Amino acid sequence: MQIADFKTDFLIIGGGIAGLRAAIGASRFGRVTILNKGVRGESSSKFAQGGIAAAVNDTPNEINSHCQDTLIAGKGLCKPNAVQVMVSEGPRRIQELLDWGVAFDKVGDQFVLAREGAHSKNRILRARGDATGNEIVKTLHRTISITDNIEIRNGHFTIELLMSQTEGGPPSCSGALVLDESNGELRRFFAKAVVLATGGIGQVFQRTTNPTVATGDGIAMALKAGAILEDIEFFQFHPTALALPGAPSFLLSEAIRGEGGQLKNAEGKRFMDRYHPDAELAPRDQVSRAILNEIRETGVAHVFLDVRHLDPHFIRERFPMIYATCLHHGLDMVDQQIPVAPSAHYMMGGIKTDLSGRTNVPGLYAVGEVASTGVHGANRLASNSLLEGLVFGARVGDVLESVSPKISAFSDAAMQIPVSWSAQTAVKWPEAYHRIQNEIKTTMWKNVGIIRSDHSVRRAISDCQLCADVLKNPPLSRLALETGNMLWASAALITSALARRESLGAHFREDFPERERSAVPEHSALTQKTLSEHFLFESLWTSDTRL
Ligand SMILES: Cc1cc2nc3c(=O)[nH]c(=O)nc-3n(C[C@H](O)[C@H](O)[C@H](O)COP(=O)(O)OP(=O)(O)OC[C@H]3O[C@@H](n4cnc5c(N)ncnc54)[C@H](O)[C@@H]3O)c2cc1C
């Protein structure tokens, strides 16, 4: 099979908030290529509703209280220096967004600041009510369109990272192998530095708020390239996603509860004050577990989010996108209660990085949801992830200045592509892959979801191993490759969930409901080698791309 080769200075895989912001910074030092799978802008960033948390007035008190709330929500697992960086550099990054044209909502000349669970004060900026992510992404795209040096290639599905053997040193990352979705052809992109900004892994769960692109590709690529993952067992389940038969688990922002929305069980009774003094605004993990408990006790598969006591005009104005989506599914939220249940939402851990996005693999950087800087600990504070993407995206953009000006040479020798890929480029039976994906999602939701145990996690190991056994010799197609990536990401989460024999934040083990007695909770670390102690599929889905 013919492979077209391309050279760039900085290759950024993923065009959500983190990748776009990193690109703007890096463009000062060289040519930047952003690769996106699918259509432009399909990302979690685009769907972010609630807003972006920031100490807007940049006073020491505000910075301190935002840091404190983040640390408390993270249950002692946050890295305080990373939190300090995110919070204290936040106001500068917000000002930048304002300069580039993001119109955060205001009343008069004052920003409207919302409040969500576990925030001690109102500090969440929003744009067009509940369309904050879309507004920010649109503005970043507009800024990029007038910035020299950046090209965006959509429909470019990145398969894996290209590694170069350096004399005496560890292999370094020098590019990526990419499938051009428009014609099924392979391309190699070579770069001085590669940035993974591929977002989350929510699609490994049956119920998720994440878009279909969140299949864990970055996690799979990083593991195969030798990167270390950190705290990957901590996965946040959002308490309130739409629970209507046949409808997607569309997110109903925590801001609805912040504005006074109430949770009621199937008997029409409020219940959160029985679980936590902050009631509906308790930390997300506690609200999710409380809802699960109510569901178990009442035998009804959802609870209700009720805003009927609030001003209908205010609801329509404040949550236009949510209101329209509910209406589309036959629910007028100002007159009717909304059936809701928890849904997989956000990956707290990820590829371990330093404060400038460097991983342990030379030449490889990671930023945004796919990375673990340590700012979220065991439980992310609401609306901190857009901020993380912006702040650390900018930091990655800055650090790329120091990357060697010499593009690593690459051999013209034909790369080894697995025979099955060159022989077969289309999926003959897509339904077979959908079935495997469904099996992964079912076992992950049931066994490694909101409540876990040694027994349930081991069940997931054998289910995923069975899926891996079926998945040999993948054809060269996005569907097949994503299915493999979902397995890698699931295996990583499973392995770490099994190893952490305690309950902490979003990781709840019913067989170890208490925290370990150590003074400070420890971070977990995972590599492909650890994975192979439980799974026998490290040879699957890997082509020999060493140059
Ligand atoms: C419904 C919803 C609401 C949310 N609301 C909020 C909120 O109000 N506030 C907040 O702070 N956070 C919110 N979050 C979380 C937040 O949106 C995300 O954590 C954040 O946007 C992640 O940004 P990112 O740039 O890391 O990844 P993403 O925005 O997910 O972007 C990842 C990009 O990588 C690309 N990609 C992935 N794999 C490949 C591949 N193999 N090849 C090429 N490209 C690839 C994708 O196409 C995509 O463009 C929300 C999340 C969801 C799902």
Q: What is the pLDDT of residue 406?
A: 56
Q: What is the pLDDT of residue 420?
A: 45
Pocket test for ligand 1, best of 33, 385, 395, 478 (most atoms within 8 A of CB): 385
Ligand 1 atom 20: residue of nearest CA: 45
Q: Which atom of ligand 1 is nearest to the CA of 178?
A: 42
Q: What is the pLDDT of residue 335?
A: 97
Q: Check: CB of residue 198 under 8 Å from CB of residue 13.
A: yes
Residue 544: pLDDT above 60? no
Q: pLDDT tens for residues 158-179? A: 999 999 987 788 899 999 999 9
286 vs 239: CA distance, rounded Å: 9
Pocket test for ligand 1, best of 45, 157, 325 (most atoms within 8 A of CB): 45
Structure tokens, 427 = 């999926």
Pairing of strands 371-372, 350-352: parallel
Q: Which atom of ligand 1 is nearest to the CA of 384?
A: 11
Confidence at 536, pLDDT banded by 50, 70, 90: confident
Residue 142: pLDDT above 70? yes
CA of 216 to the centre of ligand 1 (A): 11
Q: pLDDT tens for residues 323-354? A: 999 999 999 999 999 999 999 999 999 999 99
Q: Catalytic residues, which ones? A: 284
Cβ-Cβ contacts under 8 Å for 387 (sequence gap 6 or more): 52, 53, 54, 86, 87, 90, 93
CA of 356 to the centre of ligand 1 (A): 19
450 vs 205: CA distance, rounded Å: 11
Q: What is the pLDDT of residue 233?
A: 98
CA of 500 to the centre of ligand 1 (A): 27
Structure tokens, 147 = 């910035």
CATH of 419-531, one of 3.30.420.10, 3.30.2400.10, 1.20.58.220, 1.20.58.100: 1.20.58.100
Tally the C-alpha atoms within 13 A of residue 363's C-alpha that lie toward its C-beta. 29
117 vs 30, higher pLDDT: 30
Q: What is the pLDDT of residue 309?
A: 97
Q: What is the pLDDT of residue 421?
A: 53
What is the third-level CATH fold of 240-344?
A: Flavocytochrome C3; Chain A, domain 1 (3.90.700)
422 vs 50, higher pLDDT: 50
Q: What is the pLDDT of residue 1?
A: 67
Cα 323 to Cα 131, 304, 311: the distances in Å are 12, 15, 13
35 vs 471: CA distance, rounded Å: 26
User: What is the ipTM, given to two decimal places?
Assistant: 0.99
Q: Check: CB of residue 345 under 8 Å from CB of residue 251.
A: yes
Pocket test for ligand 1, best of 186, 198, 204, 391 (most atoms within 8 A of CB): 198
pLDDT above 70 as % of the chain: 93
Per residue, the 3-state secondary structure of 113-142, as one string, reads EECCCCCCCCCEECECCCCHHHHHHHHHHH
Confidence at 418, pLDDT banded by 50, 70, 90: very low
CA of 444 to the centre of ligand 1 (A): 20
239 vs 308: CA distance, rounded Å: 19
Q: Could you count the other beta carbons within 10 Å of the beta carbon of residue 431? A: 8
Q: What is the pLDDT of residue 415?
A: 46
Q: Which of 163-167, 308-312, 395-399, 487-491 has the lowest mean pLDDT?
A: 163-167
Q: What is the pLDDT of residue 391?
A: 98
Residue 463: pLDDT above 60? yes
Q: Domain map of the chain by residue range? A: 240-344, 419-531
Q: pLDDT tens for residues 470-529? A: 887 678 899 999 999 999 999 999 999 999 999 999 999 999 998 776 667 899 999 999
CA of 313 to the centre of ligand 1 (A): 31
Structure tokens, 494 = 């499973």
Structure tokens, 440 = 């992964």
The phi and psi torsions of 350 (rounded to 5 degrees) equal: 160, -150
